[in-house]
Every structure is written in structure tokens, then in C-alpha cells.
Structure 1
């Protein structure tokens, strides 16, 4: 089928034309093409009524949506791609294939094949599309006194005759220290691979390739972190000083009990590393706001629900 025109419409149109009319041209105008009898396989050259080709429709399926572990590293300045670590290949949906089967009179129509069989299937992002950039900026920025000069405390110091050792400035949200993204490739995040890639691409666009660094782990960073596949994973050294650390992870909530490899002390250790580097720990969790791990109450971490319920105000809010 193409648009609103069915194969039955083609049959009726060809049955109504005068003898000698260009049936192939008429079929093309309706979005179909005719296959003459002499082009059919020998075993199908039967004078009986001919049916549509009964072969299964071909559906192009990409391989695992991630690349091989020995592919290029998604370091700064490069478009990010989630590396392979899942045991089960993940397939990308590429479109919808519609087939119409019918038995057609041999004198009216030989064999018909649709010209177009695929339609694109866009990925609906988890964050509201119009707010994604603002949510990323609000959630990952650090509040620092690097804005305009704060005149009120400066005037107070001068009026009291005190020396001014440092020019006071107003606090603003800034991304100048960069963001380190820790991408969870554990079993609980298999369903969110494309969402991870989408956010990673948007971060490069919004923050800039020189200020974003990507590392990968499975279930918890305590088992190793690296810029590529598992072969590159080592103990996590901690972030660069002052940077924000973003977790694209289910924080263990999506794993089955027998798959759980994380412990509360693992996340406490990660938070301690970020704190020592004077950074902030943020997590995008693909669960509702009321579903948070129990250990998060004792860890300095800001958790945002990775869904349409999150607003720009939620991303900018600080405890």
C-alpha cells in the first residue's frame, strides 16, 4: 500500500481502461509498478490467477545499536556512540512495512509490487523536546561567583575602611569546568540505549565537544570505567577538578535481584571521589520521581527523573 491507494484500486483502474491502454503508466501514477508475465519465475508461469509475491517483506535491521568495543573512542570533540557490552544484540526499529495480499485476475493485472514499503520511525526523547537544551544546562551547571561585580559587599567594605583582597562577584550558573558523563551499559539500561545516545549527542551540541567527556561502566563504576569497551575499563580515577559528573543510569533499580552487583558503599565511594574533586554528582534516572534507591538519602547526589515530567525549573533547583 502507498498512501491511501490500495492494490484493489489499481485492479479496478486497470479493469476500467480501454484495450491497448498503457497499464504500466497507470500503475505508476497510482504508486505501483507492474511485473510482466515474462519476468516471473518459470514455476509461476501458470495460466491460473496470480497472487501477490508471497515472500516475507524485507525489514532492514541494524546490528547492535552500539559499535564494536575496538571502535574509535568517543572522547572530547567526537560524536558519541554507546559501545557494545550487552549480551543480547539490540536492534533499531527502522520503519513499518505494510503488505496487502490479494488474488488478482490474470487478465487485469500480472504481479504488483509497492514502490515504497518503509516509513521512518522517529525516536521520541524522554525529556520534552523543546526543553531538553535548557534542562541540560540547568541540571549540569555549577553555581559560582564569577558573574558581575557584587557592589553591595564591596561598598560595605570600602565604607568601613577595610582592604579589598578580592573583588566580590555575583553567583551565576556556569559550565566552564566541563561535564564528565558516566554511561551505564548494565542490563537494566538495555531498553534506554538510544535515549543515552540521544542525550549524549545533545550534550555535545549544547555544552560543546571540548567540555564533555564520556566514560562507560556496567551497573556500578566500582567494577571499572573506561572511554571505550570493557577492555579499556580501569578503576575510576575521579573527575577533573570542579567538573560535574552525570550518571546516565538506572542506579541499580532496573536489574533483577540475581543481576545486582551494586552496593550502597559503591555509590558512597563514587560520591566521595566527586566531592574530593570539588565537583557535583547528578543522575538522570529513567524512573518516576518517587522511585529512588534507598542509599541516595545518604549520598550527595541530585537525581532527576529522566522523563517528560521533569521541567526546566526542576533541573535548575538546588538543595
Structure 2
């Protein structure tokens, strides 16, 4: 059994060195405390006297404290033999497997989601109207009927048969876009989800009708509150166009606002607007991004309404035009 070294600290050695009188005693103190086994060179680099030689044989006191072995007792072996395993464990029978199942292959690792970034990804725009029908729908909603077609032979024969004078040759009615169109875009809060559709449709109208024949004005909630082609602070009082143009409203006429919401347009404001443009000889039509089931009665009676949706067809628009 090995002896445990007592806990001796450097502070103990310092206190012991203070009691030593000579350098030889200091060396002996350090050796006793176990800090060195050889001679220590003092700070002034003077050689210390050689330590006294220890006898070849241990002292009698040491021999008395050391345990003695009898001659008849066998010496303990240097190595410790490991105990043999238990016979009971060695005699246990080994279990035989009943069946062996094959393991399924590991599933494919799941691909990690991309880390969020500050980059803004613009999704592709899907317009409300069917792209291949847009040109036909625009012509059906904006064209005006005029008596400027070929001569109406049937009407001319009937006039002559009744012996009436032919003052003017009757002509067939045709639809035309030559008078141009005024597009009023509602930039109110209720139309904010449809701003990309509004800009896309304005570009389509200019390509079909002609850029020089399209006048675009922007307003919020109601045209009488200020209309202009630029920012809100540049808008002025609305003035209807001259020459009997078609007026297209890209607005919900306040249908998407909450009841009693601040700034919501009222039916009275729209009645006043329709009366103003009608006196100027213009024909208004509204493109509303809501189905007909949500249109109130006063909107249907006020002006022609067209549903701004994928289900809209030219037949539906022609049926609603006067």
C-alpha cells in the first residue's frame, strides 16, 4: 500500500526557511519538505557545501520501522492475478436468433430551407383578365357605336318605298375607338391590392387604343376630391373631357371599404360624378374587381358595370353596354 504525500505548500516552506540559521539548514528544510532532493544554489550564486553522504544501509531506526518478512513466508508476487470468470456465467447457454430482419435504407436527408435574406423577390404578375382575351375585352368595353359604317340598303329602300325624301344616306352602326378614352384610376386604400393590375391594364389600353388617345387620371376614393396625372399633391378639381369620350373607371366605387370607414366614398358622390360626365356627353363604364353578387342596387342603376375577373367575356360586356 503506497503512502500518501501530505499536503505541503510553498507557504509552509517559506515559514520553515525563516527559522533556519544557515544555508545548510535551509537545504535540509527543503529536502525534508520534499521540494528538492539535490543541493540548492543560493541567490548569491555561491556554491553550497555538499550534503552529507547517506549511509549505504538504512539506519537501525528505519530498519525497526520497516516491516520484516519471515523466512518461511513466501514473497508476495509483483503482479496481481485477475480472478477467473465465474463458472456459472461460463455454463450459460447462448441464445439462438429466431429470425434476422434486414434494415431498411436510411431515408434521404431533408433539404434545409433557405435562410431569410433582405433581398426582395418579386413574384410574377398574374393579371385579373385572361391575357389572350384582354384586347377583345378592351374593345368591347371602350368602343362606341357610331353611324359611320357602310350604307344601309334596307333602310334606304324602305325610305324610298314610303315616298319620303332621302335627306341623308342611312349608314350601318359600327364600333370605333377613334374618340379616345379617359381612364380614371382609383388609388384609394381599398384598391391597393389591385395596383399592379391597374398599371398592367393601363399599358394594355394604351397599346390597343393608342397612346395619344388615352388620358389617364389618378384619384383617391372619388374623382371630385382631386384628380391628376401625377402625385396626390398635384391633383386638382376634376373636369370631364369634351368630345363625348368613353370614361373607364378602375375602381370598386367604395364597395371594398368597411362600413362607416373614414374617407370612404358615398353613393351621393358617385351620383354627382355620373351626372357631371353625362351632361358633358361622355359615357362612363366601371371595371369593378368584385363579382356581380356583391354589387348593390344603386351601383347597377347608376352606370354600366363590368366584373374585373377571369370569367369575364366579351358577350357579358356587350350585354351591359348601352
Question: Do these two structures clear the TM 0.5 threshold for a shared fold by scoring above it?
Answer: yes
Give the Cα–Cα distance (whole angstroms) in 1 for the partners of residues 117 and 126 of structure 2.
Answer: 26
Give the Cα–Cα distance (whole angstroms) in 1 for the partners of residues 161 and 189 of structure 2.
Answer: 62
Q: Which position in structure 2 is the counterpart of 1:269?
A: 272
Q: Is the 8 A contact 1:136 1:315 kept in 2?
A: no
Give the Cα–Cα distance (whole angstroms) in 1 for the partners of residues 297 and 262 of structure 2.
Answer: 18
Q: Which position in structure 1 is the counterpart of 2:284?
A: 281
Task: Normalising by structure 2, report the TM-score.
Answer: 0.61
Give the Cα–Cα distance (whole angstroms) in 2 for the partners of residues 157 and 315 of structure 1.
Answer: 33
Out of 287, 290, 294, which is 2:293 matched to? Answer: 290
Q: Which position in structure 2 is the counterpart of 1:32?
A: none
Give the Cα–Cα distance (whole angstroms) in 2 for the partners of residues 58 and 229 of structure 1.
Answer: 29
Asked if 1:233 is matched to 2:235, the reply is yes
Asked if 1:146 is matched to 2:148, the reply is yes
Asked if 1:246 is matched to 2:248, the reply is yes
Give the Cα–Cα distance (whole angstroms) in 1 for the partners of residues 298 and 225 of structure 2.
Answer: 18
Give the Cα–Cα distance (whole angstroms) in 1 for the partners of residues 139 and 234 of structure 2.
Answer: 30
Give the Cα–Cα distance (whole angstroms) in 1 for the partners of residues 118 and 300 of structure 2.
Answer: 51
Out of 205, 223, 226, which is 2:225 matched to? Answer: 223
Give the Cα–Cα distance (whole angstroms) in 2 for the partners of residues 270 and 195 of structure 1.
Answer: 24
Higher relative contact order (CA 8 A, sep 6+): 1
Cα offset, 1:162, TM superposition = 3.0
For residues 9-57 of structure 1, give each alpha carbon's deviation from its aligned partner in whole angstroms, at most 9, with x where no partner exists: xxxxxxxxxxxxxxxxxxxxxxxxxxxxxxxxxxxxxxxxxxx9x9743
For residues 123-178 of structure 1, give each alpha carbon's deviation from its aligned partner in whole angstroms, at most 9, with x where no partner exists: 11101111111001101111121111111122232344433222211111111111
Bigger mean CA deviation after superposition, 155-164 or 223-232: 155-164
Out of 207, 210, 215, which is 2:209 matched to? Answer: 207
Bigger mean CA deviation after superposition, 287-296 or 301-310: 287-296
Give the Cα–Cα distance (whole angstroms) in 2 for the partners of residues 245 and 235 of structure 1.
Answer: 16
Q: Which runs of 4+ in 1 moved over 6 A?
A: none
- Secondary structure of the residue that 2:149 maps to in structure 1? strand
Bigger mean CA deviation after superposition, 211-220 or 259-268: 259-268
- Secondary structure of the residue that 2:185 maps to in structure 1? strand
Cα offset, 1:122, TM superposition = 1.9
Give the Cα–Cα distance (whole angstroms) in 1 for the partners of residues 309 and 115 of structure 2.
Answer: 41
Q: Which has the larger radius of gyration?
A: 2
Give the Cα–Cα distance (whole angstroms) in 1 for the partners of residues 147 and 115 of structure 2.
Answer: 67
Cα offset, 1:295, TM superposition = 2.3
**Number of aligned residues:** 212
- Secondary structure of the residue that 1:308 maps to in structure 2? coil
For residues 97-132 of structure 1, give each alpha carbon's deviation from its aligned partner in whole angstroms, at most 9, with x where no partner exists: xxxxxxxxxxxxxxxxxxxxxxxx321110111111
Out of 187, 195, 210, which is 1:185 matched to? Answer: 187
Asked if 1:136 is matched to 2:138, the reply is yes
Q: 1:56 to 1:160 in 2, by over 3 A?
A: closer
Q: 1:147 to 1:260 in 2, by over 3 A?
A: same
Give the Cα–Cα distance (whole angstroms) in 1 for the partners of residues 221 and 245 of structure 2.
Answer: 22
Q: 1:161 to 1:200 in 2, by over 3 A?
A: same
Give the Cα–Cα distance (whole angstroms) in 2 for the partners of residues 56 and 159 of structure 1.
Answer: 82
Task: Normalising by structure 1, report the TM-score.
Answer: 0.62
Q: Is the 8 A contact 1:242 1:279 kept in 2?
A: yes
